[in-house]
Amino acid sequence: MNVVIEPSVEKSLDAARTSACATLFSSPPGMLTADFLHPLTIGSREEFARLQSILRGADYTEKSVCERSGIPSIFDFEPRQKDAYEPQPFRDRLDALLRVLMHGQLARRSDLLAVLDSRELDTFESLGVLARSPGDASLLYSTAVLYPIENVYVASDRPFPPLPDWSGAVPADVVFSGISRHTRIFLGSIPRDPCESLLDLCAGSGVAGLIAGANFAKTACVADLGERCVHFSEFSRRLNGLGNVSSAAGDLYDAVPDRMFDRIVAHPPYIPSKETSILFRDGGEDGEQIFRRVIEGLPQALAPAGRLHCVTFASDRRSGELEDRIRGWLDAEEAEFDVVVVASELRNRPDAAIRTLTRGEKLKLGESGETLERLGVTRLFYGSVMVQRKPSARAAFTARTFRSPRTPLSAAEDYRRLATALYSPELVANGFETIPGLAPELRLTVTHKPGPGGLIPQEYSLRLDYPWVSEARTEAWIAALLSLCNGARRVGEIYDQLRQEGIMGEETTPADFWGLVRLLAVSGYLELGH
């Protein structure tokens, strides 16, 4: 049986990842001065401890920010640039922190001193979080945005200038905000089970590595090509007091030479661009150049039984589906790795997807559609890619599915675990002892056509809408097999009955039959129990 995943498009790809900095990127030339290019000071341990105490004492937490802003999630926050240059008094300390550090509002020193004491305000200034207006020392602005995500504080660049008459240039390694739809997807796809060592590649603000170090990784390293990104992540690391987290600058794995990690997470740049002008955005001519190099470096950087968890935008091509191309990038060592791909969004028209992905941005991407056509791109993919070094001596496997819109982001990890269990040596050896049951949302459609004596069943199709989206045409004997999977019979019993009744050909070996049952299970149609 040939199972082909052909889901309908869940929704159009959007420009969420780039739109967070749309105002900054689309501003007229000369919007940021040289002083703006190096904000935030790496101060003393005591200063960072004092700043953390101020933030926590004001209940500056994700929960409180969301409640005060009237939003369901921190990722739904949007800064109010409209009112940013009109200083207003503050209700309380939380109001001041929210409006100045997240909304980027200009503040009078006297208004800040109404809710903070002078030593607290000096701490913000000494660490470079707040700076005085060159034209009026009584006005202060935030040099960066500083916000709570989960139980850590993260610093990144402002989405718009701190003063209306600012001048300068946008740095190539501008630090992308951790508050975005795509960061939510990335963080939601990272499993939280404990690990010894984690590497956050293309880290930007370092939000993933910081959360890992604070919650489930014994050690974590935040690495990025942009020195500015590393500076920001180091500031955040010290502010959170995370002694088990380190920061490193370099081109992907060059930042951590001769080191291996049992967990690597990455959210690489993926916008197609011939030239790199913004590091967090531009992913080469086809958008896959950084992603490909992340994969190519795994044989040297991923420890035994280690895993990569990556969220990216990539493609299927006439030369091969995405998962097969990933295997090619692993080169001679591909047999050491399992490849699991979970799509969240798919587009069958690459040209339309590119236009949607870059909507509203002043990006020169007119040739992207032609480039994708030349490369033989047949479908664009957005979702999770997981590559794991085999945990045991068995054949490597490749698995792919499509996540239902109703399925949580964490389901990507659930699917990896399911596929790993289905291909484990123990289950392969005892597969005939398992008891298959039907997935609750499986639908079998039988199409009848006129024939001798009346309507005759001619076509059989399977469909699943949750937790995975899958659709396949099949054969009558597969429908008969599924009808026997009632949660009461073992696989071996079903095999014997199909053979005895002549429904299944005698040429089907036990190994072939188990392979079919496993395919139905990894596609989501069957659930295996004991």
The whole-number average pLDDT for the span 254-261 is 96
Last residue of a domain, one of 329, 362, 389: 389
Pair 186, 137 in one domain: no
Name the pLDDT band for 137 (thresholds 50, 70, 90).
Answer: very high
Query: Is 34 within a domain?
Result: no
Pair 129, 207 in one domain: no
- Average per-residue pLDDT for the chain: 86
The whole-number average pLDDT for the span 287-311 is 95
**Tens of pLDDT, residues 89-136:** 999 999 999 999 999 999 999 999 999 999 999 999 999 999 999 889
Note the pLDDT of residue 348: 67
Pair 378, 443 in one domain: no
Query: Is 12 within a domain?
Result: no
**Tens of pLDDT, residues 139-174:** 999 999 999 999 999 999 998 888 887 766 677 888
User: Structurally, how many domains does the chain consist of?
Assistant: 3
pLDDT exceeds cutoff 70 at 362: no
Q: How far is CA 241 from CA 213, 219, 252, in A?
A: 10, 13, 25
Q: CB–CB of 62/149 below 8 Å?
A: yes
CATH number at residue 514: 3.90.930.60
Pair 223, 305 in one domain: yes
pLDDT exceeds cutoff 90 at 265: yes
Query: Is 159 within a domain?
Result: no
pLDDT exceeds cutoff 50 at 360: no
Last residue of a domain, one of 90, 125, 143: 143
As a whole number of Å, the end-to-end CA separation of the chain is: 25
pTM (predicted TM-score): 0.87
Name the pLDDT band for 82 (thresholds 50, 70, 90).
Answer: confident
Within 108-195, residue ranges assigned H as helices are 109-113, 118-126, 181-189
What is the spatial distance between Cα 69 and Cα 53, in angstroms, rounded to a whole number?
A: 22
Name the pLDDT band for 281 (thresholds 50, 70, 90).
Answer: confident
3-state secondary structure 311-368: EEEEEEECCECHHHHHHHHHHHHHHHEEEEEEEEEEECCHHHHHHHHCCCCCCCCCCH
The whole-number average pLDDT for the span 361-368 is 44
Note the pLDDT of residue 186: 94
Q: In DSSP terms, which residues pair with 453 in a beta bridge?
A: none
CB atoms within 10 A of CB 318: 8
Q: What percent of the chain clears pLDDT 70, i.e. is strictly above it? A: 88
Note the pLDDT of residue 355: 44
Amino acid at 129: V
Note the pLDDT of residue 6: 29
The whole-number average pLDDT for the span 35-49 is 82
Name the pLDDT band for 370 (thresholds 50, 70, 90).
Answer: confident
Pair 200, 293 in one domain: yes
Pair 304, 371 in one domain: yes
Name the pLDDT band for 353 (thresholds 50, 70, 90).
Answer: very low
Position of tokens 């953390």?
A: 52
Name the pLDDT band for 7 (thresholds 50, 70, 90).
Answer: very low
Which one is predicted more confidently, 497 or 373? 497
Q: Which domain holds residue 456?
A: 433-529
Query: Is 87 within a domain?
Result: yes
Contacts of 360-364 with CB under 8 Å at 24 or more apart are 360/15, 360/19, 360/22, 361/15, 361/18, 361/19, 361/22, 361/25, 361/26, 362/25, 362/26, 363/18, 363/271, 363/273, 364/273
Name the pLDDT band for 466 (thresholds 50, 70, 90).
Answer: very high
Note the pLDDT of residue 173: 84
Pair 449, 357 in one domain: no
What is the spatial distance between Cα 127 and Cα 121, in angstroms, rounded to a whole number?
A: 10
Note the pLDDT of residue 11: 31
The whole-number average pLDDT for the span 264-268 is 96
Pair 333, 229 in one domain: yes
- Chain centroid to Cα 211, Å, comes to 14
pLDDT exceeds cutoff 90 at 373: no
Name the pLDDT band for 88 (thresholds 50, 70, 90).
Answer: very high
Pair 459, 356 in one domain: no
Name the pLDDT band for 391 (thresholds 50, 70, 90).
Answer: confident
Note the pLDDT of residue 38: 54
Note the pLDDT of residue 35: 46
The whole-number average pLDDT for the span 10-33 is 33
Last residue of a domain, one of 119, 143, 167: 143
Query: Is 412 within a domain?
Result: no
Pair 442, 497 in one domain: yes
Q: What percent of the chain clears pLDDT 90, i.e. is strictly above it? A: 69
Pair 100, 222 in one domain: no
pLDDT exceeds cutoff 60 at 8: no
pLDDT exceeds cutoff 90 at 372: no
Query: Is 196 within a domain?
Result: yes
Query: Is 293 within a domain?
Result: yes
The whole-number average pLDDT for the span 24-53 is 67
CATH number at residue 341: 3.40.50.150
Which one is predicted more confidently, 240 or 505? 240
Query: Is 516 within a domain?
Result: yes
Note the pLDDT of residue 369: 64
For 437, the 3-state DSSP assignment is strand
What is the spatial distance between Cα 358 and Cα 61, in angstroms, rounded to a whole number?
A: 33
Pair 302, 441 in one domain: no
Note the pLDDT of residue 16: 29
